[in-house]
Amino acid sequence: MIYNGSVNNQKPTTPPARSTALRIAAVAVLAAVTAVLTLIPKIQIPSAQGYIHLGDVAVVFAGLVFGPFTAMLAGGLGTAAADLLGGYAQWAPISFVVHGLQGLAIGLLARPRPGNVPLAIAAAVLGSVIMVAGYFLGGLVIEGFGATLRSVPLNLVQAAAGAVLGIPLSIAVRAAYPPVQDLSW
């Protein structure tokens, strides 16, 4: 941390190059965490060609703590990588777009008042709607109407788990390490 030139009670500022490097590192780490939570544990959907997972926890957490752009990149890259590694390559482009938009929406809605629980819940609900609708539309192309319709309730469960676990995690991390807000992007 460096001071911005004034001696009188000025808040330290992070140099721009360091801040950019830390933000890139945060995206990389969160994408990896998202991929792991998407792959392990995963619950196969017998009536469809997919699975549900805990990757949404990371997407919600990233949106609420690190902001819209980190969440968009981490959510999109992490879930797409998990699909590629887990044998679901046909879903990778859909996961990239859907979870990327989910993270972006959560981060944009929650950004004006970080740490506000009702706003975090509203952001997670918006992200859930985007995720469920996105997978429904993508599933129509890959699986057809019947299998896609059967996957909607389980996608809702996945989205709810993401909110129920991601929101308290974001609150705990912000409380334990307030400087994390400086990495919001």
Mean pLDDT of 130-145: 95
Tokens of 52: 């549900």
Tens digits of residue pLDDT in 45-57: 776 667 889 999 9
**pLDDT at site 2:** 44
Distance of alpha carbon 123 from alpha carbon 162, whole angstroms: 12
Give the lowest-confidence range in 2-11, 21-30, 141-150: 2-11
Does 141 map to a domain? yes
Q: What is the mean pLDDT of the chain?
A: 89
Between 14 and 32, residue with greater pLDDT = 32
Does 166 map to a domain? yes
Tally of structural domains, the chain: 1
pLDDT exceeds cutoff 80 at 71: yes
Tens digits of residue pLDDT in 98-114: 999 999 999 999 998 88
**Is 174:120 a contact under the CB 8 Å cutoff?**
no
Does 134 map to a domain? yes
Does 137 map to a domain? yes
> How far apart are the two ends of the chain, measured CA to CA in Å?
18
Exposed e or buried b per residue across 97-135, where buried means at least 16 C-beta atoms within 10 angstroms of its C-beta? bbbbbbbbbbbbbbeeebeeeebbeebbebbbebbbebb
**Is 22:67 a contact under the CB 8 Å cutoff?**
no
pLDDT exceeds cutoff 60 at 3: no
> Given pLDDT bands bounded at 50, 70 and 90, which one contains residue 4?
very low
Does 3 map to a domain? no
Parent domain of 149: 16-183
**pLDDT at site 138:** 96
Does 6 map to a domain? no
Does 4 map to a domain? no
Distance of alpha carbon 166 from alpha carbon 158, whole angstroms: 12
pLDDT exceeds cutoff 70 at 166: yes
Question: What's the CATH code of the domain at 149?
Answer: 1.10.1760.20
- Cross-strand partners of 178: none
